[in-house]
Amino acid sequence: MPIRIHRRSFLRKSVAAVAGAWAAPMIPAWASPAVRPLAIFAYGDVELLPSPLKEQFDYHHRLFLNLDEDRLLKVFRQKAGMPAPGEDMGGWYDLTGFDLQHNDFHGFVPGHSFGQYVSALARSYAATGDQATRAKVQRLVKGYAETLDAKASFFAGYRLPAYTYDKISVGLIDAHEFAQDPIALEVHERLTRAITAYLPEKALSRAEQRARPHKDESYTWDEPYTLPENLFLAYQRSGKVFYREMAARFLEDDTYFNPLSEGINVLASEHAYSHVNAFSSAMQAYLTLGSEKHLRAARNGFAMLSEQSYATGGWGPDEGLIEPGKGRLGESLNKTHASFETPCGAYAHFKITRYLLRVSQDSRYGDSMERILYNTILGAKPILPDGTSFYYSDYDANARKVYHPDKWPCCSGTLPQLAADYYISIYLRCADGVYVNLYVPSKLRWKTGGAVFELTQQTKYPRDHQIELRVAASRPTEYTVYLRIPAWAEGEPVVRVNGRRVSNPVQAGSFAAIRRTWKDGDRIELELPMTLRLEAVDEQHPNLVALSCGPLVLCALSKDRPAFERSELLRAQESSDESGDRIAVASEGSRIRMRPFMGIADESYNTYVSLKT
């Protein structure tokens, strides 16, 4: 997030504007969605079995469990004038450079990611039941609460109050919801009532923010339009109506959700992550208020995003959304190495695809989620204990995976949150059974009508095209297992139950529904045909293509962008060694290794290769 703002003069205006804003009811009567969405299983209903997802989760769970609490709380204690032991965190996190006279980009959103680390730990506790994790969440909430005064003075003169409040908000509501923290909800309410003094009176688009008078020529990058998702969740978890009213006020309808709901593409030049994250606020407006307009806005907005996505599923070169139909995505390949803000973008992408899948039962949202999973976030370099973090994926030629120069950036907050959310993204629950959305080694346990069920998934997918699910049941019960058949699985996807092929045809781009009386020991096998295909970056650049196989984009391990005939790429053969690579041979005889992003360490790679014309 390239931020450059001075916000003091703006604050003076907005403080007066919001005074007394709690009184007026803003919302029409409660309305529930017409169709019941798929439900989320509890984090603890799912166990991850050995896989890259589990490795990523375990690593980051351990890292944040071991992070020193004094260091995490230091900036809040310093600002409160309390003893503040421990080393500075460094990077974006510290008070260093907090002086607004400084034009220093480093350390100017103090404590910004504290709430995300608390959220990630709370979700990790819910997933694992690890008591040390729960105890840490409770100590952090207690430590934070001690620094919070009635005016939330920490935010006086703070550059990005909405940005950081939103993250503390999710930390506190998750500590309450997932780690049963006894004070988190009360602390959240105190903070929220006080924070309004530092926020504008309603959601402001970036254009509106820029239009407000400033003493200097700089502009603000605060993001009040991202607040509603967590405020709606706070309402659901607390029952307090003021959260619902505040959430509605911060929905960015005028310049964003209204036009999106009418199919007008207003994405161009908006900040990518935060505007995609705002789709989840629209989904919560639908789920909480029954607002069909916001469902349409999220659906249309996501469809427009998909039209400007790379083959990896990533989007937002230089953190900006682009004008459609102009070849801007192809142009970006030679302009920037900052192709996709990976942990934050993948986190927002998982949330919106999970919401849209839940309300639509449309398998394409699951396809989109797995594309982002395997081609972006699972290939992110791990966060190091000193806060060094992976930020951008690079789709330019001669790309390398590099760490961001600043420690503890935004992406250090979203990565552990997303890794915990793997637990709630694999399976979804409906009235008549279970949706299997991701093919990941895992075990699901659930209860229905006094009976206990398990579904155990074993697979090397996406390295392999076969998936096996085993059923355990305390008594035979009729229900439906829905298997996502990806849209790319053209050819003949095969489903077998106990070795016998199911008679109904299995359609790519849908969920295959298998209804029967399931009993202990039943076995489901799924085979998804994975053929090589080429995806051009956009219509204006038909000769810049990514080679894909199933959900995986295969990157060329080379410095310069290699050039192939179409047929040469589509004949890429599996390597004879254990690497799982494919080898593409160009007509001049050069042999280029092709490997998924998550298999790349420090080699030079090209996500896109050239087609010879």
Which three-class secondary structure state does DSSP give residue 474?
coil
Measured from the CB atom, the residue of 77 and 159 that comes closer to Zn ion is 159
Judged by CB under 5 A, the stretch of 39-47, 260-268, 341-349, 472-480 that binds Zn ion is 341-349
Query: Least distance (Å) from Zn ion to the CB of residue 118?
Result: 17
Bridge partners, 451 (sequence order): 448
Query: Least distance (Å) from Zn ion to the CB of residue 410?
Result: 3
Q: How many residues bind Zn ion (CB under 5 A)?
A: 4
Query: Least distance (Å) from Zn ion to the CB of residue 383?
Result: 12
Query: Least distance (Å) from Zn ion to the CB of residue 64?
Result: 16
State the greatest distance between any 2 C-alpha atoms of the chain, in Å, as a whole number: 74
**Choice from 5, 344, 380, 556 touching Zn ion (CB under 5 A):** 344
Measured from the CB atom, the residue of 409 and 596 that comes closer to Zn ion is 409
Instruction: Tell me the C-alpha distance between 610 and 563, whole Å.
Output: 4
Query: Least distance (Å) from Zn ion to the CB of residue 259?
Result: 26
Measured from the CB atom, the residue of 11 and 411 that comes closer to Zn ion is 411
Judged by CB under 5 A, the stretch of 283-291, 340-348, 381-389, 394-402 that binds Zn ion is 340-348
Measured from the CB atom, the residue of 248 and 411 that comes closer to Zn ion is 411
Instruction: For residue 176, give the H/E element and its range.
Output: helix 161-179
Measured from the CB atom, the residue of 283 and 411 that comes closer to Zn ion is 411
Bridge partners, 544 (sequence order): 610
Judged by CB under 5 A, the stretch of 106-114, 344-352, 370-378, 567-575 that binds Zn ion is 344-352
x/- site string to Zn ion, residues 396 to 425, per CB under 5 A?
Answer: --------------xx--------------
CB atoms within 10 A of CB 46: 21
Surface-to-core class of residue 248, CB atoms within 10 Å of its CB (0-12 exposed, 13-18 middle, 19+ buried):
buried
Cβ atoms of residues 90 and 408 within 8 Å: yes
Judged by CB under 5 A, the stretch of 251-259, 316-324, 343-351, 358-366 that binds Zn ion is 343-351
Instruction: Tell me the C-alpha distance between 504 and 493, whole Å.
Output: 11
Cβ atoms of residues 412 and 389 within 8 Å: yes
Which residues have CB under 8 Å from 121's CB, separation 6+? Answer: 61, 64, 65, 133, 136, 137, 140, 179, 416
* Beta-strand runs (E) in 143-258: none
Residue 180 C-beta-side C-alpha neighbours within 13 Å: 4
Surface-to-core class of residue 193, CB atoms within 10 Å of its CB (0-12 exposed, 13-18 middle, 19+ buried):
middle
Query: Least distance (Å) from Zn ion to the CB of residue 1?
Result: 6
Measured from the CB atom, the residue of 341 and 522 that comes closer to Zn ion is 341
Query: Least distance (Å) from Zn ion to the CB of residue 351?
Result: 14
Return the ∠ at Cα 228 (arms to 225 and 232), rounded to 5°.
180
Measured from the CB atom, the residue of 120 and 344 that comes closer to Zn ion is 344
Judged by CB under 5 A, the stretch of 120-128, 339-347, 443-451, 455-463 that binds Zn ion is 339-347
Residue 8, both tokens:
């003091």
Cβ atoms of residues 554 and 562 within 8 Å: no
Instruction: Tell me the C-alpha distance between 318 and 174, whole Å.
Output: 31
Measured from the CB atom, the residue of 116 and 220 that comes closer to Zn ion is 116
Query: Least distance (Å) from Zn ion to the CB of residue 411?
Result: 3
Taking the alpha carbons at both ends of the chain, their separation in whole angstroms is: 38
Query: Least distance (Å) from Zn ion to the CB of residue 111?
Result: 16
DSSP 494-515: EEEETTEEPSSPPPTTEEEEEE
Instruction: Tell me the C-alpha distance between 260 and 242, whole Å.
Output: 27
Query: Least distance (Å) from Zn ion to the CB of residue 413?
Result: 8
Query: Least distance (Å) from Zn ion to the CB of residue 210?
Result: 22
What residues numbered 135-164 form the site for Zn ion, per CB under 5 A? none
Query: Least distance (Å) from Zn ion to the CB of residue 409?
Result: 6
Contact call for residue 377 and Zn ion (CB under 5 A):
no
Q: How remote is the C-alpha of 117 from its chain's centroid?
A: 15
Cβ atoms of residues 30 and 289 within 8 Å: yes
Measured from the CB atom, the residue of 417 and 459 that comes closer to Zn ion is 417
Measured from the CB atom, the residue of 51 and 56 that comes closer to Zn ion is 56
Contact call for residue 272 and Zn ion (CB under 5 A):
no
x/- site string to Zn ion, residues 299 to 338, per CB under 5 A?
Answer: ----------------------------------------
Measured from the CB atom, the residue of 154 and 390 that comes closer to Zn ion is 390
Measured from the CB atom, the residue of 200 and 379 that comes closer to Zn ion is 379
Residue 340, both tokens:
């996709």
Return the ∠ at Cα 188 (arms to 202 and 407), rounded to 5°.
85
Residues that bind Zn ion (CB under 5 A): 341, 344, 410-411
